Structure 1
Amino acid sequence: MSTLKVRVDKKKLERAAYLLKCVAHPVRISIIDLLEQTDRLSVSQLQEALEIEQSLLSHHLTNMRDKGILLTQREGKNVYYSLPDLTITNIIECINSSKTF
């Protein structure tokens, strides 16, 4: 009988669980999907694509920014959002390739 072992370092598992909790919402996953398609988007561009209230979008963006999932860059009156690490976008591929979703 073979001995089973967890193949992922404990710190990596903790970070993955933290990130997954942070993005565990359809709007947040949609934001990641949109930002994967371009370098950065403004709040108004995200709002137009997602068709949601600006206040709700701001809530999600702030949460994701505070958790380190998004970066912000201010240019005049506009704030642009981007992904500092594109590996988070693998979640989109997992969702699209899964037969259970």
Structure 2
Amino acid sequence: MKTTGRNLSIEKLSKVAGVLKVIAHPVRLEILEILETAESMDVGTLCSKISCGCEISMLSHHLTKMKDNGVLDNKREGKQIYYSIKDRQILSLFDCMEKCKL
């Protein structure tokens, strides 16, 4: 198995790159930030908490993309769909962003 200078496998780098590509949008990062403090949340509630005033149709697009790429989980209860973070380790990216001097 090939690795990089940091002893990361090419497979791991590829997986991380895919996740970063999926969350590389301000609304998607804000979704993660909002869900950080909630076990799960329905689309309407999420929409009311998004600061950019994202419409439900656009928010649904972002949520579906994040779910389809393994960042979020969802469950249906009646007509409501509740979203949650699939692997909470992804939240450690916010620690990296806070420390980064970009």
Q: Decide: shared fold, TM above 0.5.
A: yes
Q: Which amino acid aligns with 1:32?
A: L
Q: Match for residue 34 of structure 1?
A: 34
TM-score of the superposed pair, with normalisation by structure 1:
0.89
> Once the 2 structures are TM-superposed, how far is the Cα of residue 6 of structure 1 from its aligned partner?
3.8
> Once the 2 structures are TM-superposed, how far is the Cα of residue 8 of structure 1 from its aligned partner?
0.8
Percent of paired sites with the same residue = 39
Q: Does 1:12 align with 2:22?
A: no
Q: Match for residue 72 of structure 2?
A: 70
TM-score of the superposed pair, with normalisation by structure 2:
0.88
Rate the CA distance shift 1:9–1:32 in 2: closer, same or farther, 3 A: same
> Cα deviation per residue 1:10-69 (whole Å; 9 max; x = unaligned)?
111110000000100000011111111111111011100003101110110011111111
> Once the 2 structures are TM-superposed, how far is the Cα of residue 93 of structure 1 from its aligned partner?
1.6
Q: Match for residue 80 of structure 1?
A: 82
Q: Superposition RMSD on alpha carbons, in Å?
A: 1.3
Distance 1:5 1:76 in 2: 50
Q: Which amino acid aligns with 1:28?
A: R
Partner SS for 1:92: helix
Runs of 4+ in 1 over 3 A off after TM superposition: none
Bigger-Rg structure (1/2): 1
Query: Where do 5+ consecutive residues of structure 2 fail to align?
Result: none
Distance 1:34 1:74 in 2: 19
Q: Which amino acid aligns with 1:5?
A: G
Query: Where do 5+ consecutive residues of structure 1 fail to align?
Result: none
